[in-house]
């Protein structure tokens, strides 16, 4: 058919000029044409329900966000060496979402750039080099971000663990060493022991509140509350990577650190911040900003430009105007409840976890709880064939991840549940 010819042509051109190291989703790739809110449309006119993409946070091509970007782009786009109102306005609005000690923001253009800068600031502030990171964590694609991302450096094709990195076990109360209600405290005790037995004091401890690429694993309750004071006691700072968990996706919590009842010293932001427009940021305490200011000038050509600020500001306004935090909570709770019903029907669903519209479904071999890569891959591709987009991740790529735009509805949840149910019935037929 003509659509297949068009796809083949697009793929041929892509592979002629673009390295295959950039992967493509699904056994049957999708040639996308357009998207609106929680729907995406391919070039053949098929509609896909997007239960996966967390970057178009308030909805793909949200008209208010698009208009804000267009308006500012047609008027002025420049850099922070000039003075323009929208920089201060956006910074003020963004910082109003944080608890008091976090009151300075540095704008960049990606989560990777933000992680990189966060580490640099922690090193400058503490005058130390060593960083404690989490097993399976991911923080970005720059050299420093890779160095602190076990997900990448421990991959069989990865560069291995650098000498300045201290890696601690993921406090995973489903698969980890501890599974009781006090698992968080026990995991923290182990990590603190490791920390105290190293010769080098660390500059920082960095973790995601829910480990995203590592398999949508929420840090066990109570873990951060134990470990943050221990890190600070030995002079380090605590960094929360909120690239995936931030901006109210977790429903009850605007930031992931709130879920763990801690306040970090440095926060890393990205992805949903610009609803698809490339923005990232580092939010820090005055004290850390002051240490950083003693060094060489910080400048980013695009970080904090007026168009990005207008877009970012509008994303925050839309979250409030449309009650999206509450929607994430309500729809997310319903989603987890419906998934748990499916879990009772299919024991291959080992675990359903997350918060709000940040959900992981851990596919297992029920007898052993071993990862079930094959089934997860089957479900991802079968749902795609039923025009529903979800993806997989985790160390064995066996966890289904669903993190839709926050305008996702309960009806949309029902569609996903029915599709998984149908796919399972076919698989076990
Ligand atoms: N931190 C986390 C937790 C992420 O998930 C990602 C991206 N998957 C990044 C940082 C890097 O962000 P970016 O791809 O925008 O550079």
pLDDT digits (tens, 9 = 90+) for 29-67: 999 999 999 999 999 999 999 999 999 999 999 999 999
Ligand 1 atom 1, closest CA: 139
User: What separation in Å is there between the alpha carbon of 319 and the centre of ligand 1?
Assistant: 21
* Cα within 13 Å of Cα(333), Cβ side: 7
Closest CA to 70 of 247, 302, 314: 314
Over residues 1-27, mean pLDDT = 95
Q: With 90 as the cut, is the pLDDT of residue 337 above it?
A: yes
| DSSP state for residue 271 in the 8-state scheme | G
- Cite the residue boundaries of each domain of the chain with CATH code 3.40.640.10: 63-321
User: What separation in Å is there between the alpha carbon of 385 and the centre of ligand 1?
Assistant: 28
Q: Determine the CATH number of domain 2-58+323-427.
A: 3.90.1150.10
Taking the CA of residue 271 as reference, the ligand 1 atom at the shortest distance is 15
- Cite the residue boundaries of each domain of the chain with CATH code 3.90.1150.10: 2-58+323-427
Q: What was the pLDDT predicted at 246?
A: 98
Taking the CA of residue 113 as reference, the ligand 1 atom at the shortest distance is 16
- CATH class of segment(s) 63-321: alpha beta
Asked if residues 273 and 246 have their Cβ atoms less than 8 Å apart, the reply is yes
Residues in contact with 150: Cβ distance below 8 Å, sequence separation at least 6, in sequence order:
133, 134, 135, 136, 137, 138, 161, 167, 214
Helix (H) or strand (E) holding 47: strand 47-50
**261 burial class (0-12, 13-18, 19+ CB within 10 angstroms)?**
exposed
Q: With 90 as the cut, is the pLDDT of residue 199 above it?
A: no
Q: With 90 as the cut, is the pLDDT of residue 3 above it?
A: no
pLDDT digits (tens, 9 = 90+) for 91-119: 999 999 999 999 999 999 999 999 999 99
Model ipTM? 0.99
Helix (H) or strand (E) holding 117: helix 111-126
Question: Which residues have C-beta atoms less than 6 Å from ligand 1?
Answer: 110-112, 115, 138-141, 208, 212-213, 241, 243-244, 270-271
Averaged confidence pLDDT in the chain: 97
Q: With 90 as the cut, is the pLDDT of residue 403 above it?
A: yes
Q: With 90 as the cut, is the pLDDT of residue 174 above it?
A: yes
């Amino acid at each position: 058919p003509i659509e297949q010819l068009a796809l083949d042509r697009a793929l041929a051109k892509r592979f002629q000029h673009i390295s295959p190291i950039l992967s493509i989703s699904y056994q049957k790739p999708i040639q996308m044409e357009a998207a609106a809110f929680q729907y995406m449309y391919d070039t053949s006119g098929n509609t896909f329900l997007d239960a996966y993409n967390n970057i178009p946070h308030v909805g793909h091509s949200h008209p208010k966000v698009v208009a804000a970007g267009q308006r500012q782009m047609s008027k002025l786009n420049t850099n922070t060496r000039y003075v323009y109102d929208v920089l201060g306005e956006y910074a003020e609005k963004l910082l109003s979402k944080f608890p008091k000690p976090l009151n300075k923001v540095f704008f960049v253009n990606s989560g990777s750039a933000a992680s990189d800068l966060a580490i640099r600031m922690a090193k400058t502030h503490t005058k130390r080099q060593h960083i404690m990171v989490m097993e399976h964590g991911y923080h970005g694609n720059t050299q420093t971000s890779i160095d602190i991302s076990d997900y990448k450096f421990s991959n069989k094709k990865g560069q291995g663990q650098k000498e300045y990195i201290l890696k601690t076990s993921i406090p995973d109360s489903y698969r980890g060493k501890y599974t009781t209600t006090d698992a968080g405290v026990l995991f923290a005790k182990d990590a603190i022991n490791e920390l105290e037995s190293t010769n080098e004091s660390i500059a920082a401890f960095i973790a995601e509140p829910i480990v995203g690429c590592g398999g949508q694993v929420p840090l066990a309750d109570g873990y951060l509350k134990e470990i943050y004071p221990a890190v600070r006691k030995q002079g380090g700072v605590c960094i929360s990577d909120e690239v995936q968990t931030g901006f109210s996706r977790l429903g009850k919590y605007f930031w992931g650190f709130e879920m763990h009842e801690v306040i970090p010293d440095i926060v890393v932001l990205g992805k949903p911040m610009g609803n698809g427009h490339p923005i990232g940021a580092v939010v820090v305490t005055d004290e850390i900003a002051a240490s950083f200011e003693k060094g060489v000038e910080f400048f980013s050509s695009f970080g904090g430009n007026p168009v990005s600020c207008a877009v970012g500001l509008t994303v925050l306004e839309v979250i409030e105007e449309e009650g999206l935090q509450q929607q994430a909570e309500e729809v997310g709770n319903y989603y987890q409840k419906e998934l748990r019903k499916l879990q009772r029907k299919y024991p291959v669903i080992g675990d359903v976890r997350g918060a709000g519209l940040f959900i992981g479904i851990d596919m297992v071999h029920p007898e052993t709880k071993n990862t079930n890569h094959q089934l997860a891959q089957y479900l991802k591709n079968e749902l795609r064939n039923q025009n529903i987009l979800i993806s997989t991740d985790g160390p064995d790529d066996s966890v289904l991840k669903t993190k839709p735009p926050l305008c996702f509805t309960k009806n949309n949840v029902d569609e996903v549940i029915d599709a998984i149910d149908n796919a399972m019935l076919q698989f076990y037929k």
